[in-house]
Amino acid sequence: MKMKLITAAVAALVAASPAMADLTFSSLSYRTGPYAANGIPFADGYADYFTLLNERDGGIGGEKINLVECETGYNTEKGVECYESTKGSGALVYQPLSTGITYQLIPKATADGIPVHSMGYGRTSAKNGKVFSNIFNYPANYWDGASVAIKHLLDINGGDISGKKIALVYHNSAYGKEPIRTLEELSKKHGYDLSLLPVDHPGQEQKSQWLQIRRERPDYVIMWGWGVMNQVAIQEAVNIRFPMENFIGIWWSGSENDVKPAGEAADGYKALTFHNVGSDYPLYEDIQDYVVDAGLAAGAGDQIGTVLYNRGLYAAMLAAEAAKTAQKIHGTSAITPAMMRDGMENLEMTEGKMTALGLPNFGPSFKVSCENHGGDGFGAVTQWDAKAGEWKMITDYMQSDQDVLAPLVAADSEAYAKENNITPGCN
Amino acid sequence: MFYREAGDFKTSYVDDNQTFPIKFDRYRYYFVLFFAFLIVPVVINDYWVNAVFMPFLIYSIAAIGLNILVGYCGQVSLGTGGFMAVGAYACYKLMTSFPEVSIFFHVLLAGGVTALVGVAFGLPSLRIKGFYLAVATLAAQFFLVWLFNKVPWFYNHSASGQISAPERTVFGIAVTGPHTSAWATYLFCLVFVTICALLARNLTRGMQGRKWMAIRDMDIAAEIIGVDPLKSKLSAFAVSSFFIGVSGALFFSVYLGAVEVGEAFGINKSFLILFMVIIGGLGSIFGSFAGAAFLVLLPVLLKNVLVGMLGWPTDLAAHLEFMIVGAMIIIFLIAEPHGLAQLWRVAKEKLRLWPFPH
């Protein structure tokens, strides 16, 4: 009996890697833990798009897609385990949806020759493809986000925010600390006062931070939150009667699940985004026909059209487009992770391409190159309408302040190159 | 029949006092060493080393360290995560400040730094006991995590507050950084585990261990028979923190490669390692290994069975995993409150009599 158990155990550990399929995509998702409220819609959107491609088009370029999902719980140790277990199955690209796990994977994936797409998160200076050959963060990154938020404040203040007090409420981790340097640089340029209020993981306890905000009365609050921290922060802001229209979250702090718990009072809360909101696109009809009605929707199927679902869908769409580009470059439909990397580096998203996919005006147009793995840094501001229960875009796409950001990206990536003995260059 | 003292004649005191007095045990021990050092490195791959062996080995060191403090000396500590963080950050600072020195010595020095910090936070143990001491060590946990988040010097002023391990080699073979091979990192950790386990085993068998156990069993009586509580308690904190520091250094530099203090070394880590010690068995080196294996391997095994073999949704599997591991902990502790090590002890007693029990 004991022997049998041991044999079964060993067999189970060996069976970690599933059968080889034609095109394997991995989804390091988190449907459990304090970040699940945000992890689930993204994972659903990511999975549903690939299911749609399989059902409607028979995969990408005639190759079926095999999506391997692995639960990380937003935990780096589990993330490493997931990376190692899915690596063997030939996963083409990793999108861990966690800045912490991305930092882990940057050296590992580069050494293994697998591309990582940290869309709107991860290490900002990965924009410099000369140093970070396998890491991509198009179409926008955290520093773009910080800059777009400040730009929006400039716009509504007639171009002058000197002397204004801005508070940054951030997740006390690599993720939340990312924008600090940019906001400090921008405060030198625009003359606002910046105060920093860290919130420790997981962020359920924020009474003292918001008490401080009530005392110091900043004109604006910018938030870098994720998971349960978002809901708590918005509720606390409501509790101290902070004017919601002066409260701006990064794109990870602006989903339905974040604002709904605060009810009507959350009306007017703003969040950034780098893609469009809502489900009014031709592609969603296909999703309804081929995925939802066929009973193939991922998860509970109740997240379709929410902000983070759209983002997951957008991430999957960009991955699929990069795979198509790679197939075209290398003239083979069965691509490898190295070919996928080339596809991502030569990806070009145009309005025409997105319209053809059934997603007109869904995201910005951009072109990836070896020098620029991060797109052009366009972002827009959305606002929550609690009565209608939906997010509304209130600005056009604005480009971040490249004069300030470009030197920061160059400096940070050079420091990384030096630390790790990388000779920057394009091959 | 095979597992007994009879017929194994000891002709010297050294023989009589050896760690494994029974021949079968001794050979089993040599076999395990042989297997771990010579067979496993040949067949190991990236998945096995990163998902199974490395966490098991590193948590074993931490569990041995905590077991010395909690199991042998009776001082409850909830500061393990914080002490691991000290090991990790000390190792990082040493690695980046003295790149020419071998990583092997950095890990040992990181353990030394942690020992000093551990002694400092062990001072309250001279006045307070039991749960109250646990609360005092909890302060260490929160203070240390806060410190490493707050002071940029510890993470070399990096923008993200993360520390990441640059490539370092032992005898020209990379053991940290991205370009490592599975066998190298595995062997590097295994060497530390072997050293730590041997050291801990022999410390606890000798005079020092007896002093710790005397303090654990009744500190006033121990003091009366001439055990100095100051020296024994603080030495337990020092030795325990040394091991925990080594494990923290390996955890950061070899296993993860990049860590963030709040996430990697939070209070959860302290509890995890305390649970390893309790489930494995207080006051047992074998128990530390068993506890680490139980809590590291069982979730991986369950995940692979539920998701890999049965094809269940990942969230369902993750939730079930919590329930199954939780239930197993309760079942084990009801069936055997002294942990897995006691099961092993009972099994050995039975084996001695087998096949003719009276």
Task: For residue B320, give Cα distances in angstroms to A30, A34, B299, B312, B329.
Answer: 15, 17, 10, 11, 14
Give A73's contacts (C-beta < 8 A, 6+ positions apart).
A30, A32, A33, A35, B318
Q: What is the CA radius of gyration of chain A?
A: 21
pLDDT single digits (tens) A334-343: 999 999 999 9
How far is residue B225's CA from residue B223's CA, in Å, rounded to a whole number? 5
Q: Among A381-385, B86-90, B122-126, B306-310, where is mean pLDDT lowest?
A: B306-310
Do A176 and A272 meet the contact criterion of CB atoms below 8 Å apart? no
Task: Determine the Cα angle at B95 with ends B89 and B100, to 5°.
Answer: 165
By C-alpha distance, which of B91, B70, B78 is closest to B141? B78
Q: Examine the pLDDT at A20 and tell me if it is beyond 60.
A: no
Q: What is the mean predicted confidence (pLDDT) over A51-71?
A: 91
What's the confidence (pLDDT) of residue A5?
Answer: 52
pLDDT at A90 over 90: no
Report the pLDDT value the prediction gives residue B158, as an integer from 0 to 100. 81
Name the DSSP letter for residue B255.
I
Find residue A384's DSSP bridge partners: A391
B279 vs B346: CA distance, rounded Å: 16
Among A31, A99, A102, most B C-beta atoms within 10 A, so best to mutate, is A31
Give A362-397 pLDDT, tens digit per residue: 988 999 999 999 988 899 999 999 999 999 999 999
Show residues of chain A in contact with B164, CB under 8 Å.
103, 107
Classify residue B17 by its DSSP letter: T
Q: What is the mean pLDDT of residues A63-71?
A: 91
* Minimal CA separation from B180 to chain A, in Å: 9
Determine which helix (DSSP H) or strand (DSSP E) holds A302, and give its type and residue range.
none
Task: Kindly list the distances between the CA atom of residue B10 and the CA atoms of A173, B3, B14, B21, in Å, as whole numbers in the listed order.
Answer: 59, 16, 9, 9
Task: Please check whether residue A347 is in contact with residue A368, taking contact to mean a CB–CB distance below 8 angstroms.
Answer: yes
For the ranges A18-32, A176-190, B193-207, B261-275, the lowest mean pLDDT is seen at: A18-32
DSSP3 helix / strand / coil % (chain A, rounded to 5): 50, 15, 35
| Other residues' Cβ atoms within 10 Å of the Cβ of residue A134 | 28
Distance of residue B259 Cα from the nearest chain A Cα, in angstroms: 8
If pLDDT is split at 50, 70 and 90, which confidence band does B325 have? confident
Pairing verdict, β A378-385 and A398-399: antiparallel
Question: Chain B residue with minimal CA distance to A15?
Answer: B308
pLDDT band at B10 (very low <50, low <70, confident <90, very high): confident
Global ipTM: 0.86
pLDDT on residue A427? 67
Partner-chain contact A107 B50, CB within 8 Å: no
pLDDT of residue B243: 97
Residue A32 Cα, gap to closest chain B Cα (Å):
6
Q: Inspect the interface and report whether the beta carbons of A80 and B256 lie closer than 8 Å.
A: yes
CB contact under 8 A, B167 and A421: yes
pLDDT at A313 over 80: yes
Q: Which positions in chain A touch B159 (Cβ < 8 Å)? A: 177-178, 180-181, 412
pLDDT value for B72: 95
Residues B69, B242 contacting (CB under 8 angstroms)? no
What per-residue confidence (pLDDT) applies to B177? 85
Tell me, what amino acid is at B222?
A
Contacts of B160 in chain A (CB under 8 A): 99, 103, 123, 174, 177-178
- Minimal C-alpha gap between B74 and chain A (Å): 30
**What is the 3-state secondary structure of A97-137?**
CCHHHHHHHHHHHHHHCCCEECCCCCCHHHHCCCCCCCEEC
Q: Parallel, antiparallel, or unpaired: how do β-strands A116-117 and A23-29 relate? A: unpaired
Q: What is the pTM assigned to this prediction?
A: 0.90
Which residues in chain B have their CB less than 8 angstroms from residue A422's CB?
Answer: none
On the CB side of B134, CA atoms within 13 Å amount to 10
- Name all contacts of A196-200 with Cβ < 8 Å and 24+ positions apart: A196/A167, A196/A168, A196/A170, A197/A167, A197/A168, A197/A169, A197/A170, A198/A170, A198/A171, A198/A172, A198/B149, A199/A169, A199/A170, A199/A171, A199/A172, A199/A225, A199/A229, A199/A233, A200/A172, A200/B262
Residue B81: the pLDDT is 96
Question: For A122, phi and psi rounded to 5 degrees?
Answer: 80, -155
Closest C-alpha to A200, from B145, B33, B316, B164: B145
pLDDT at A6: 54
Tokens 């055997």 map to which residue?
B336
Residues of B in contact with A104 (CB under 8 A): 256-258
- The pLDDT assigned to B337 comes to 87
pLDDT over threshold 90, residue B130: no
Q: What is the pLDDT of residues B329-354, one digit of tens each?
A: 888 888 888 989 999 999 888 888 88
DSSP class per residue in A322-341? HHHHHHHHHT-SS--HHHHH
Do A22 and A67 contact (CB within 8 A), yes or no?
A: no
Distance CA(B231)–CA(B159), nearest Å, equals 42
Per-residue pLDDT tens over the stretch B62-97: 999 999 999 999 999 999 999 999 999 999 999 999
**A200 CA to chain B: closest CA distance, Å?**
8
pLDDT tens by residue, A225-275: 999 999 999 999 999 999 999 999 999 999 999 999 999 999 999 999 999
CB pairs under 8 A between A and B: 122
Q: Locate the chain A residue with the closest alpha carbon to B179.
A: A111
**A15 and B51 in contact by Cβ < 8 A?**
no
Mean pLDDT (whole number) for B280-304: 92
Interface of B with A (CB under 8 A): 46-48, 50-52, 55, 149, 159-162, 164, 166-167, 177-179, 255-260, 262-264, 266, 300-301, 303-305, 307-309, 313-315, 317-319
From the options 1.10.3470, 3.90.1720, 1.25.40, 3.40.30, give the CATH code of B44-353.
1.10.3470
pLDDT band of residue B200 (cuts 50, 70, 90) is very high
CA nearest to A102 within chain B: B258
Distance, in angstroms, between B263 CA and closest chain A CA? 7
- Residue B19's pLDDT band, with cuts at 50, 70 and 90, is confident
If pLDDT is split at 50, 70 and 90, which confidence band does A11 have? low
Type of residue found at B228: D
* pLDDT, chain A, mean: 89
Residues B154, A172: contact at Cβ < 8 Å? no
- Per-residue pLDDT band at A16 (split at 50, 70, 90): very low
Q: How far is A396 from chain B (nearest CA, A)?
A: 30
Closest chain B residue to the Cα of A177, Cα to Cα: B160
Cα distance from A171 to chain B (closest Cα, Å)?
10
Compare A427 and B77 and report the one with higher pLDDT: B77
pLDDT band at A17 (very low <50, low <70, confident <90, very high): very low
Q: Answer whether B164 sits within 8 Å of A103, measured CB to CB.
A: yes
* Res. A187: pLDDT tops 70: yes
Mean per-residue pLDDT of chain B? 91
HEC secondary structure over A143-159: HHHHHHHHHHHHHHCCC
- A78, closest residue in chain B (CA to CA): B51
Q: What long-range pairs does A240-246 form, CB within 8 A, spacing at least 24?
A: A240/A210, A240/A211, A240/A213, A240/A214, A242/A210, A242/A213, A242/A214, A243/A268, A244/A268, A244/A269, A244/A270, A244/A384, A245/A269, A245/A270, A245/A383, A246/A219, A246/A220, A246/A221
Nearest-angstrom CA–CA distance, A167 and A195? 5
Residue B314 has pLDDT above 70, yes or no: yes
pLDDT score of A89: 84
Amino acid at B74: G
A106 and A115 Cβ atoms separated by less than 8 Å: no
Please tell me which of the candidates B161, B164, B259 has its beta carbon nearest to residue A177.
B161
Residues linked to residue B173 through DSSP beta bridges, in sequence order: B170
What domains can be seen in chain A, in order of their start residue? 19-141+278-375 (3.40.50.2300), 142-274+380-406 (3.40.50.2300)
Closest Cβ–Cβ partner in B51, B257, B262 for A85: B51
Domain spans of chain B, in order of start:
1-34, 44-353
Say if residues A87 and A80 touch (Cβ distance below 8 Å).
Answer: no
Q: Do A70 and B314 touch (CB under 8 A)?
A: yes
pLDDT digits (tens, 9 = 90+) for B148-159: 988 989 998 887
Q: What's chain A's length in residues?
A: 427
Q: Which of A239, A253, A244, A94 is nearest to A170 (CA)?
A: A253
